[in-house]
Amino acid sequence: MSNQAQNVELANFLALTSMTDTQLDAYYVESVLALQDSQVQVAASIIEVGSGVFVYDWPEDCIRILTAFYANKELTRAPVHQLDLQQRDWRSETGIPVHYVLNHEAERTVRLYPIPLLDGDPVPFPTDFGSSYPDGNLVLLYVTDNLDVPDWLDLPIACAILAKEFSRESSHCDKKAAELYLRLATVLRGIGGPP
């Protein structure tokens, strides 16, 4: 794996032009966030559920929720308008959760629907996904904020960064080079894939 600083350094080396790291850093983050879920680091986190508690915060290192589980079942994501159509007073309904809603009460939250009425088992530390898995809780599967990328993506990402940088209006703007870097990034991704 290689980190942001290493990849920005690679882009700077390939450019042979003095560029501001801040700009390249921004392009790096943009490029990594645009990667497919299969190409980034993911994690699973068990969150202890309390009776009557229906809103839970995302883990601190989470940048995108992939899915959620309650007890032994995978929940499906439901948009608010769908729940509104389905049941007008869905917000107060209680039972075993079957759906989750993202960012309804506040940003970076998961809301369970219906509202669970049971406490989950205490979550041990470190958490265990095997025989001593604590039942009745919320599990979030998510993309982490770890922006390190697998080594094979270094060059495609560096080329994508340079495609953006050379297409930007600046003293070193070079549309032709930008186009070639973009084409090269695409070719390299194709060669290194499939994900």
Partner 1 sequence: MTTALEVATLVLERVRDPEGVATTINQVYDLIDRVQVLLVRGLGLMARDRTFSSEPDQTLYPVDPDETLQILDLFQGAVNRRLSPCRWAQMIQVRRDWWRYSILDGEVPETMQVWAPVGTSLLVMWPPSDTFAEIVTVREQQRPAMVTEASSVLDLPDEHLPLLQDIVEVLLLLRTKHVEAAEIAMGRLEPQKEE
Give the footprint of partner 1 on this chain (CB under 8 A): 1, 10, 13-16, 37-44, 66-67, 69, 71-74, 76, 129-131, 133, 135, 139, 141, 143, 150-152, 154-156, 174, 176-177, 180-181, 183-184, 187-188, 190-193
Closest CB to partner 1 among residues 18, 72: 72
Closest CB to partner 1 among residues 13, 125: 13
- Give CA–CA dist 109/58, Å, rounded: 6
Q: How far is the CB of 32 from partner 1 (least distance, A)?
A: 12
**101 and 110 Cβ atoms separated by less than 8 Å:** yes
Could you tell me how many residues make up the chain?
195
Q: How far is the CB of 106 from partner 1 (least distance, A)?
A: 26
**100 and 80 Cβ atoms separated by less than 8 Å:** no
Q: How far is the CB of 194 from partner 1 (least distance, A)?
A: 8
Tell me the two tokens of residue 30: 């943009």
Q: How far is the CB of 135 from partner 1 (least distance, A)?
A: 8
Indicate the helix (H) or strand (E) that contains 80.
helix 80-86
Tell me the two tokens of residue 29: 């983050």
